[in-house]
Structures are given as structure tokens and as C-alpha cells.
Amino acid sequence: MIRVLATPFDPWSAIAEHQVAMQRDGEYGACATFVGTMRDINEGDQVKGMTLEHYPGMTEKHLEKIVVSAREKWQLLDTLLIHRVGDLLPNEPIVLVAVWSAHRKDAFEACRFIMEDLKSQAPFWKKESLSNGDKQAEKNRWVEKNTSGY
């Protein structure tokens, strides 16, 4: 399941609910998860908020493509991918990737693959709202690029 959400979500209850709803009890021996959360500091600056823009249509298609590609490479029972858009505050979850498989190798590797592909290819853009304590210093800036996670 893939969801792009404009409102805050709780990744832990999303995982628990999905695991019940997918009705694969007894089949999965592994569930690997990644949760990305907004920090309040980036490149030495205080970040008080962030806006996540995306390309509606292409974003969903691309996420779907990443999951299909992961399912071709590994033996997966199910996947759950949730990504926030819109206005976020520090400590809010940005992204959740959860992967269920019979054995840990498939779940670990597919979760990593989906997350790294998402970071480097999925059409989302972050704009940070900075505040270093001084009102005059408040400004917005686009995050220029994601660093490779490998």
C-alpha cells in the first residue's frame, strides 16, 4: 500500500494496523521498517518548520514503480509506504517504509532499497523555514540535495 498524506500520521499504529489488515499471520517471519522524522537542525541552522512539495501523479507512480522493482528483486509478502507532504513541524514523521517477508534478508534489503530509491528519485522537495532566534534572520530555503545513504 502506498499513501501520500497531507496530515500528520503515526507510523507505529500504521504498521500495527496494516499488519493485522494484510491477513498474512503465520507467513511472515520478518518485518523491517524505516521511519524518517523531521529534525529541528540542518546544516547548523535551527529549523522551525518545513514544507514538502510533490508532483501529484508522478509521485504515486514513481513510488509504485519502486515497490514493484523491490518485489522483483526480493521475496516479499507485503509493503507499506507512507510519505508526508504539506507543512511539517520538527519531530513529525516524514516517511515510513515497512516490508514483510518470510526471512530477514529480504525484508532488510528491500526496505533499504525502497528508502534509498525514494530519497534519490521520488519527486518530493523540502523547503525549510529557518529561525536562529533572531526575527530578522528568519528565512526559507530549499534543501538542495539528498546525500547518498550508501
The verdict on 144 binding other proteins (CB under 8 A) reads yes
Q: Which one among 46, 123, 131, 132 touches other proteins, defined by CB under 8 A?
A: 123
Query: Which of residues 121, 137, 138, 139 is near other proteins by CB under 8 A?
Result: 121
Nearest approach, Cβ of residue 142 and other proteins (Å) = 5
- For the chain, the distance separating the N- and C-terminal CA atoms, rounded to the nearest angstrom, is 25
Could you tell me which stretch among 7-15, 19-27, 103-111, 136-144 binds other proteins (CB under 8 A)? Answer: 136-144
Nearest alpha carbon to residue 67 among 96, 94, 99, 27: 99
Helix (H, G, I), strand (E, B) or coil at 89: coil
Under 8 Å between Cβ of 39 and 50: no
Question: Is residue 37 a contact point for other proteins (CB under 8 A)?
Answer: no
Dihedral through CA 85, CA 91, CA 95, CA 96, nearest 10? -140
DSSP one-letter code for 7? S
Distance CA 55, CA 42 (A): 24
CB of 87 to other proteins, least distance (A): 15
Q: Which residues contact 147 (CB under 8 A, 6 or more apart)?
A: none
Site string for other proteins, 74-93 (x = CB under 8 A): ---------x----------
Size of residue set near other proteins by CB under 8 A = 27
Of residues 33, 36, 45, 129, which one binds other proteins by CB under 8 A? 36
Binding site for other proteins (CB under 8 A): 36, 52-55, 57-58, 61, 83, 94-95, 115, 118-127, 142-146
